Amino acid sequence: MSKLVTIYGGSGFVGRYIARRLAKEGWRVRVAVRRPNEAMHVKPYGTPGQVEPVLCNIRDDASVRAVMQGADAVVNCVGILAEDGKNRFDAVQAEGPGRVARIASEMGIARMVHISAIGADASSKSDYARTKALGEQSVLQFMPDAIILRPSIVFGAEDQFFNRFARMAQMGPILPVVGAETRFQPVYVDDVARAAVLGVIGKAAPGIYELGGPDVSTFRNLMGQMLDVIQRRRMIVNIPFPVARFMAFGFDMLNKVTLGLVPAQITRDQVRNLARDNVVAEGAKGFADLGIDPVSLEAVLPDYLWPYRPSGQYAAIKASARNLRQG
């Protein structure tokens, strides 16, 4: 019988790519999510019955244990960018990974892959970065041979970074950003999935890997690259950090007053993170140690941002027609 992997958060942005790759490797894949009915898109990744979404709440021991029964490996992809209801940073990103690791250890599961993030730091003022580090510590406490992956900003068709700013660029002549000179090292989502699969199948040495793409760019330059792809001219305006903190405070308060009905456009915690570079640390293990040659941003961005062009899918046809007229 083929081996079984349980992927916590396996229907999310990164998780779905891991699920797809493991299904191609012949594994049975159990996708553990809070709302299985909203995760049916994972079922076609394999043959009938090979990839199945199942109900799980990472905040509950019994729930985590039930979906781990019979598994040969586990992957934890659960994480949040902002707190919402009972999904607090400490519960999801610090306690959750530790719970998965502890139960995996108790059940004698040999391999665990945990998706963290570059910038994880237990002493950080950012709750996001602090809880990412605490989650790593908990994982290694119970599963010392785990593989921990720390990606920089992840891009791909379903990302919430370039898609979000491309939508904003459709709305007006100005594109506001916080931390325009902060550096990022964007990494393709499927490259992160390739690294995770190597960990699951036992072809990656235990340890922490920082994953960044081949290029390092400032936030401003990334937005310029995105605007070139969607063929729109916009003024990129940097919002100074003191102003951004004030705005984020207002958004946070509005979110609380409306009991979450009005989502915060940016939070104070996100502003803290945007003040720090998000690149692979010197000397850190990374893609080279895994034998992976990461894909560049320019090779992928046009494949999924074309809907934001003024002419959408017809942009290339219109450009070709203009060239014919001019010729």
E strands along the chain, which residues? 4-8, 28-33, 51-55, 73-76, 111-115, 147-151, 154-155, 174-178, 183-184, 187-188, 207-211, 217-218, 235-239
- Give the type of residue at 249: F
Measured distance CA(28)–CA(45) in Å, rounded: 11
Q: How far is CA 95 from CA 6, 47, 228, in A?
A: 18, 34, 42
DSSP readout, 286-302?
Answer: -HHHHT--PPPHHHHHH
Q: Structure tokens of 212?
A: 């960044």
- Per-residue model confidence (pLDDT) at position 60: 95
177 touches 237 (CB < 8 A): yes
- How far, in whole angstroms, is CA 222 from its chain's centroid? 17
- Give the type of residue at 319: A
C-alpha dihedral sign at 113, 115, 118, 122: negative
Measured distance CA(325)–CA(327) in Å, rounded: 5
Measured distance CA(286)–CA(210) in Å, rounded: 5
In the chain the domains, ranked by start, together with CATH numbers, are: 4-155+186-213+280-294 (3.40.50.720)
Our CA dihedral for 51, 138, 105, 145, rounded to 10 degrees, sits at 90
E strands along 34-163, which residues? 51-55, 73-76, 111-115, 147-151, 154-155
81 touches 117 (CB < 8 A): no
Place of tokens 């043959």: 47
Place of tokens 């993170």: 273
Measured distance CA(1)–CA(88) in Å, rounded: 39
- List the chain pLDDT tens, one digit each, 327 residues: 689 999 999 999 999 999 999 999 999 999 999 999 999 999 999 999 999 999 999 999 999 999 999 999 999 999 999 888 888 999 999 999 999 999 999 999 999 999 999 999 999 999 999 999 999 999 999 999 999 999 999 999 999 999 999 999 999 999 999 999 999 999 999 999 999 999 999 999 999 999 999 999 999 999 999 999 999 999 999 999 999 999 999 999 988 888 777 888 899 999 999 999 999 999 999 999 999 999 999 999 999 999 999 976 656 666 555 566 665
Measured distance CA(276)–CA(217) in Å, rounded: 13
- Per-residue model confidence (pLDDT) at position 319: 59
H/E run at residue 179: none
Question: Which of these, 80, 69, 93, 77, lies nearest to 19 by C-alpha position?
Answer: 77
126 touches 153 (CB < 8 A): no
